[in-house]
A and B are shown apart, each in its own frame.
Chain A
Amino acid sequence: MTPNAATLDAPTLDAATLDAATLDAATPDPPNNYLHSTLLRLATAGSVDDGKSTLVGRLLHDSKSVLADQLDALERVSRDRGLAHADLALLTDGLRAEREQGITIDVAYRYFATADRSFILADCPGHVQYTRNTVTGTSTADAVVLLVDARKGVLEQTRRHLAVTALLRVPHVVVAVNKMDLVGFDEDIYTQVAADLAVVASELGLPDLRTVPVSALEGDNIVDRSARTDWYEGPTLLEVLEALPVADNPGDEEFRFPVQLTLRPQGAARDAAHREYRGYAGQIASGVVRVGDPVVVLPSGRATTIAGIDTADGQLDLAFAPRSVTLRLVDDIDLARGDLIAAAASAPEPTRDLVATVCWLSHTPLSKHSRLLLKHTTCTTAAIISAVDGVLDLDAVRIVAAQDLGLNDIGQLRIHTADPIAAEPYARHRRTGAFLLIDPQSGQTVAAGMIGNPLRKDSETATDSLAGNGDHA
């Protein structure tokens, strides 16, 4: 590209004035790196007034993910409201009701990128329907960014956020100890909060919790290092997020493949060579698959072998989660949507009776629903709740007796299903251990379910009051 600044008028693009080499050095997201760029999914958590929207706005702003027209709009609106500085929270509050009420209502998804990594950030509101939104936002997250007010330290609310994070089995937690500017960037205060958090993490069995002292409002240690925390030698928040491993290594997981649909084009094949084609399309839920691998099809239990791994771009010898592929099998067996293809050596036992932890998401309590639909991977079946074992006390992190579940309750249920499902403990299989409960009349999603008790630590035995036959594997 030739620099050609003389002809530029608004609206224009800065790129016209820069050459590619300058850009690679100057932009946070050089275009040529994309073949090796990875994707990390984040969710935020925090109480009201912890400054979460400000932190997200700061991350977007300081990583140069906010563009000029968005900043102009932000400054204009902030001025109209009589604010001295641009209110970064306005970047994330997208609905009119949110702006009018100055609160965040719904999970909002934000995107930003650095040289080697793209981020999807689910910004979860702190108060309205807190549990419902946080469970939604964290269900897909590789890491949770939790805010703690340095002045207040670890509150009951913080413990609750961390309990939900542990329940959803999010691999990493990064705690931004915020508002350090309001405690004079005091090292002792930060050290105490970090120590308290470590204790909670250990109690909850969180595998990886890191802390960073920040001021979201003033930008300390978010993207750029703060000169006001010279006692802190660790990474900034963005540096932590850039270095986190992306999800689990599929090489360490058991292969699971829920079948979405059978591809059998016959006469309609786009190429005559595929008239006899029969493949099973899906997204690998966990693990690695190779041509020649022995597998079992569930719930039938038929054993067979992988004959081919196909994509529209050609055949693969090997594929791993979360890639979408189409599998061909050596044997001609009856197989349909809802079936699971699993590694022969580790296949789960299909069952019609589950013990599960559910988060109730509906305003109508559980007791008003006699029959539900249960959606597990690509399989939807009728379900009845055979017993309510109790409700989770998030403060004490234990199950207490209860007869019913209401909005935002997390409870332990026994569920009986019409068809057998390839149930697996959520603690080990985030994809094939999760399910939805759906009201067949309204069609609403009423609960998010996790098979077994994800909060139970591995060291505890099957006699634990929370264990059930979902934990058999």
Chain B
Amino acid sequence: MNKGRELAEHEDLKEAEAEFAAGRLVLDHLDTLESESIHIFREVGAEFERPVLLFSGGKDSVVMLHLAAKAFWPAPIPFPCLHVDTGHNFPEVLAYRDRAVAEKGVRLEVAKVQDYIDDGRLSERTDGTRNPLQTQPLLDAIADHRFDAVFGGGRRDEEKARAKERIFSLRDEFGAWDPRNQRPELWNLYNGRHRPGEHVRVFPLSNWTELDVWRYIARESIDLPELYYAHQREVFERDGMLLAVGQVSQPQESETVVTKQVRYRTVGDMSCTGAVESDALTVHDVVIEVAATRITERGATRADDRLSEAAMEDRKKEGYF
């Protein structure tokens, strides 16, 4: 279902001709961001042996996949997708994930946190959150498949540590990020040199904001999992967040279950990803809501990022996305 059809069609040609006639040649900001991201995808496609795109079915990874398809058109996307499955996913997002990669004709690899818990390589945390447990399956999958470039959907506007991240970010054999020793990144000349065992994390959406992502989804009529739009759901409140009632997120006795109209701003581990109350039924409503919101998406919806001021920096140093 295309939520964006109601929005104006983008008429590149007419606009460009009109601007040319008027002596003004300026790309609008979404076209500028799109062109920058396509350039990044192509640089990686040309310079790396075995890239992979991290794909969860979340909106940022969906936009990445959309841009990758544009970058290599009319050729197919020349790399597979990888999903690190926490086992705590929303079922509708998994269904969307499988549908989306099939439509694009891309192979999907899945690394399962559950496998690691089942055979004892990882143990469940006391708080039940599995987001931090994704790091080891991710690094193992990168090593097993000998991936040398890993596209991630991280944006610099998300979080303070991410604001310091390069577009091409070198990781050692432990997957570690060394924020004090990053390569300088100049002009649009990306240095992807790496030694055996090292890999490069590549962030094509570095310069996009949450609002840019939504505007682009609207402009391009990109299909998303339905839970990004307002719907009725049974939820309960915990730590100031609305959590969905599901297999991995059961309310305790003191927590009351109510049905509310909610939507998700991020999708991840169900046990720690909160919904927000919302009337935004269409992509246009969401654009308006995001433009007016006074709370960051991680602040509103991610319990694990609230752990400490440096929670993200610490996880990134260990090899997290």
Q: How far is the CA of A117 from the CA of B10 in the complex (A)?
A: 18
Judging by beta carbons under 8 Å apart, are B183 and A11 in contact? no
Contacts of A113 in B (CB 8 A): 209, 211
Q: How far is the CA of A324 from the CA of B292 in the complex (A)?
A: 31
Judging by beta carbons under 8 Å apart, are B188 and A140 in contact? yes
Instruction: Flag whether A220 is at the interface (Cβ < 8 A).
Output: no
**B-side binding surface: helix, strand, loop or mixed?**
mixed
Binds A, one of B72-80, B88-96, B112-120, B136-144: B72-80
Binds B, one of A34-42, A156-164, A347-355: A34-42
CB within 8 Å of B: which of A23-74? 23, 26-27, 29-31, 34-39, 67-70, 73
Q: How far is the CA of A377 from the CA of B191 in the complex (A)?
A: 11
Binds A, one of B15-23, B52-60, B126-134: B15-23
- Contacts A68-B294, A69-B295, A261-B45 given; does A118 touch B74 at CB 8 Å: no
Judging by beta carbons under 8 Å apart, are A94 and B75 in contact? no
Instruction: Point out the residue from A23, A263, A283 that lies within 8 Å of B74, measured CB to CB.
Output: A263
Instruction: Point out the residue from B31, B161, B237 that lies within 8 Å of A95, measured CB to CB.
Output: B161
Judging by beta carbons under 8 Å apart, are A35 and B212 in contact? no
Instruction: Flag whether A382 is at the interface (Cβ < 8 A).
Output: no
Judging by beta carbons under 8 Å apart, are A261 and B46 in contact? yes
CB within 8 Å of A: which of B14-42? 16-17, 20, 23-36, 38-39, 42
Contacts of B76 in A (CB 8 A): 265, 268-270
Contacts of A377 in B (CB 8 A): 189
Q: What 0/1 pattern do residues 362 to 373 of A give for CB contact below 8 A with B? A: 000000000001
Instruction: Flag whether A397 is at the interface (Cβ < 8 A).
Output: no
Q: What 0/1 pattern do residues 132 to 174 of B give for CB contact below 8 A with A? A: 0000000000000000000000001101111110000010000
Instruction: Flag whether A361 is at the interface (Cβ < 8 A).
Output: yes
- Contacts A1-B280, A324-B71 given; does A7 touch B260 at CB 8 Å: yes
**A-side binding surface: helix, strand, loop or mixed?**
mixed
Instruction: Point out the residue from A2, A260, A443 that lies within 8 Å of B194, measured CB to CB.
Output: A443
Contacts of A313 in B (CB 8 A): 10, 12, 70
Judging by beta carbons under 8 Å apart, are B191 and A448 in contact? no
Q: How far is the CA of A411 from the CA of B291 in the complex (A)?
A: 46
Instruction: Point out the residue from A7, A118, A373, A448 that lies within 8 Å of B186, measured CB to CB.
Output: A448
Judging by beta carbons under 8 Å apart, are A281 and B293 in contact? no
Of listed B35, B277, B291, B296, residue having the most chain A CB within 10 A:
B291
Instruction: Flag whether A126 is at the interface (Cβ < 8 A).
Output: no
Contacts of A8 in B (CB 8 A): 277
Q: Interface size bucket, B side?
A: 35 or more
Judging by beta carbons under 8 Å apart, are A431 and B187 in contact? yes
B157 to A, closest residue via Cβ: A111
Contacts of B211 in A (CB 8 A): 29, 31, 113
Q: How far is the CA of A350 from the CA of B76 in the complex (A)?
A: 34
Instruction: Point out the residue from B16, B46, B237 that lies within 8 Å of A316, measured CB to CB.
Output: B16
Contacts of A139 in B (CB 8 A): 186-187
Instruction: Flag whether A197 is at the interface (Cβ < 8 A).
Output: no
Query: Could you tell me how many residues of chain A have their Cβ less than 8 Å away from some Cβ of chain B?
Result: 106
Judging by beta carbons under 8 Å apart, are A15 and B35 in contact? no
- Contacts A265-B76, A313-B12, A320-B16 given; does A39 touch B300 at CB 8 Å: no
Judging by beta carbons under 8 Å apart, are A13 and B293 in contact? yes
Instruction: Point out the residue from B206, B212, B299 that lies within 8 Å of A109, measured CB to CB.
Output: B206
Judging by beta carbons under 8 Å apart, are A324 and B193 in contact? no
Of listed B25, B39, B184, B291, residue having the most chain A CB within 10 A:
B184
B198 to chain A, nearest CB (A): 8
Judging by beta carbons under 8 Å apart, are A12 and B276 in contact? yes
Q: How far is the CA of A99 from the CA of B27 in the complex (A)?
A: 38
B104 to A, closest residue via Cβ: A270
Instruction: Flag whether B109 is at the interface (Cβ < 8 A).
Output: no
Of listed A13, A118, A435, residue having the most chain B CB within 10 A:
A13
Contacts of A26 in B (CB 8 A): 292
Contacts of B13 in A (CB 8 A): 314, 316-318
Instruction: Point out the residue from A106, A271, A316 that lies within 8 Å of B179, measured CB to CB.
Output: A106
Instruction: Flag whether B64 is at the interface (Cβ < 8 A).
Output: no
B171 to chain A, nearest CB (A): 12
Q: How far is the CA of A38 from the CA of B32 in the complex (A)?
A: 8
Instruction: Flag whether B310 is at the interface (Cβ < 8 A).
Output: yes
B31 to A, closest residue via Cβ: A323
B234 to chain A, nearest CB (A): 15
Q: What 0/1 pattern do residues 292 to 317 of B give for CB contact below 8 A with A? A: 11111001100000000110010000
6 closest A-B pairs (Cβ-Cβ)? Answer: A94-B160, A443-B193, A69-B299, A265-B75, A312-B73, A274-B74
Supply 7 A–B pairs (Cβ within 8 Å), ascending by A.
A34-B29, A39-B28, A96-B310, A109-B163, A313-B10, A316-B16, A378-B46
Partner-A contacts on B (CB < 8 A): 8, 10, 12-13, 16-17, 20, 23-36, 38-39, 42-43, 45-46, 69-76, 105, 156-157, 159-164, 170, 179-180, 182-189, 191, 193-195, 206-207, 209, 211-212, 215, 219, 237, 240-242, 260-261, 274, 276-280, 284-285, 287-296, 299-300, 309-310, 313
Known: A263-B72, A288-B20. 11 other contacts (CB 8 A): A13-B277, A15-B293, A16-B278, A39-B29, A107-B164, A108-B160, A109-B163, A282-B39, A288-B25, A317-B17, A323-B31
